[in-house]
């Protein structure tokens, strides 16, 4: 008898679940942290490569394999690149919420976090006519109240936390502003820094990274090792890629090889995040309450 929680049952008797995810940040994150970079054309164009070139390349790649995944899009990015977000929707992919200007929730007041959520929702609705059911905290830096704010707005799931191999129901604590009709939990689909292309490829002198940019094959090896582990553990593998990084040609080639390998695994349920969240919700798991440390 293992001391670990029993693996979740996955559709079709699969042993594990997997999903590719894409964060269409463009310039938003840099501008939120350091608005003065707006004056730097080379820095800005490093980021705008995402919606301008990386995204179309990745959409073509996904279409070749007839797979549907998710693009998390900050509202500000949707307003600056409306055609890019409409292309994502037209290609049949899910659009997720990723803040307005990529604000880190842990750095915001509750009112500011709520405003960022509402502005992001309004922008995605206005630009692409979509109402996302999934959320990913910018910089994977959720606050302790994020789940409640999401539940109040009818989100099905979050994908920002790191305390599991598999999704779970995350309790949304009630607050003064929550209504009686708010859901009591959101599905949490955990992620991890090892499964992010940022750490492998991101470099902007003086702003991001050390200057060491990994070979795409090395990045793929790291991601495959995590996949092999989560497959054995019956967990849920979620890879996060940014079009301005993984949309570059050599990296996209390697990403396609990885996708082909996962598609060839008949014991892995490869699905969009929304489908994974709906499956987990259907299991009726008891919500987990997270307790912040007292210091």
Q: How far is the CB of 113 from Zn ion (least distance, A)?
A: 16
Query: Which stretch in 15-23, 56-64, 85-93, 159-167 sits in contact with Zn ion by CB under 5 A?
Result: 15-23
How many C-beta atoms lie closer than 10 Å to residue 174's C-beta? 14
Contacts of residue 162, Cβ cutoff 8 Å, sequence gap at least 6 = 140, 190, 191, 192, 193
Q: Is 25 in the site for Zn ion (CB under 5 A)?
A: yes
SS3 content of the chain, % helix, strand, coil (to 5): 45, 15, 40
Q: Closest CB to Zn ion among 209 and 229? A: 209
Q: How far is the CB of 265 from Zn ion (least distance, A)?
A: 28
How many C-beta atoms lie closer than 10 Å to residue 13's C-beta? 8
CA distance 129 to 110: 27
Q: Are 30 and 37 in contact (CB under 8 A)?
A: yes
Token reading at 271: 């699905």
CA distance 76 to 73: 8
Q: Closest CB to Zn ion among 88 and 183? A: 88
Three-class secondary structure of residue 212 per DSSP: coil
Token reading at 31: 């501008």
CA distance 48 to 212: 21
Query: Which stretch in 23-31, 51-59, 213-221, 256-264 sits in contact with Zn ion by CB under 5 A?
Result: 23-31
Query: Which stretch in 18-26, 40-48, 111-119, 179-187 sits in contact with Zn ion by CB under 5 A?
Result: 18-26
Query: Which stretch in 22-30, 88-96, 156-164, 174-182 sits in contact with Zn ion by CB under 5 A?
Result: 22-30
Q: Is 197 in the site for Zn ion (CB under 5 A)?
A: no
CA distance 173 to 11: 30
CA distance 287 to 170: 5
Q: Which of 8, 17, 19, 23 binds Zn ion (CB under 5 A)?
A: 23
Give the x/- contact pattern for Zn ion in 57-76, rule: CB under 5 A.
Answer: --------------------
Query: Which stretch in 19-27, 188-196, 216-224, 233-241 sits in contact with Zn ion by CB under 5 A?
Result: 19-27
Q: Closest CB to Zn ion among 139 and 236? A: 139
Q: Closest CB to Zn ion among 14 and 121? A: 121
Q: Closest CB to Zn ion among 22 and 269? A: 22
Q: How far is the CB of 252 from Zn ion (least distance, A)?
A: 19
Signed CA dihedral, 134, 138, 142, 146: sign only: negative
Determine if residue 13 is left, alpha or beta; phi over 0 gives left, psi from -120 to 50 gives alpha, anything else beta.
left
Q: Is 27 in the site for Zn ion (CB under 5 A)?
A: no
Q: How far is the CB of 140 from Zn ion (least distance, A)?
A: 8
Q: How far is the CB of 223 from Zn ion (least distance, A)?
A: 18
Q: Residues interacting with Zn ion, by CB under 5 A?
A: 23, 25
């Amino acid at each position: 008898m293992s001391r670990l929680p029993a693996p979740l049952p996955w559709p079709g008797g699969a042993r594990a679940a997997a999903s590719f995810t894409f964060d269409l940040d463009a310039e938003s994150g840099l501008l939120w942290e350091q608005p003065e970079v707006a004056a730097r054309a080379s820095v800005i164009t490093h980021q705008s490569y995402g919606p301008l070139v990386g995204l179309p390349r990745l959409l073509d790649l996904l279409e070749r394999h007839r797979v549907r995944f998710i693009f998390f899009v900050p509202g500000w990015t949707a307003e600056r690149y409306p055609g890019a977000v409409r292309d994502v929707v037209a290609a049949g992919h899910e659009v997720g919420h990723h803040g307005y200007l990529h604000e880190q929730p842990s750095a915001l007041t509750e009112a500011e976090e709520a405003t960022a959520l509402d502005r992001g929702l309004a922008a995605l609705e206005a630009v692409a006519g979509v109402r996302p059911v999934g959320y990913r905290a910018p910089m994977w830096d959720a606050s302790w109240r994020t789940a409640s704010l999401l539940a109040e707005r009818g989100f099905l799931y979050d994908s920002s936390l790191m305390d599991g191999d598999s999704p779970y129901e995350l309790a949304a604590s009630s607050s003064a502003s929550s209504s009686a009709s708010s859901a009591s939990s959101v599905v949490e689909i955990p992620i991890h820094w090892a499964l992010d292309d940022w750490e492998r490829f991101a470099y902007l002198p003086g702003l991001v990274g050390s200057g060491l940019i990994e070979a795409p094959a090395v990045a793929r090896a790291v991601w495959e090792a995590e996949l092999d582990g989560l497959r054995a553990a019956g967990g849920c593998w979620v890879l996060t890629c940014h079009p301005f990084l993984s949309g570059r040609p050599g990296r996209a080639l390697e990403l396609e090889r990885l996708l082909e390998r996962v598609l060839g695994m008949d014991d892995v349920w490869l699905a969009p995040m929304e489908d994974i969240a709906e499956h987990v919700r259907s299991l009726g798991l008891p919500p987990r309450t997270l307790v912040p440390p007292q210091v």
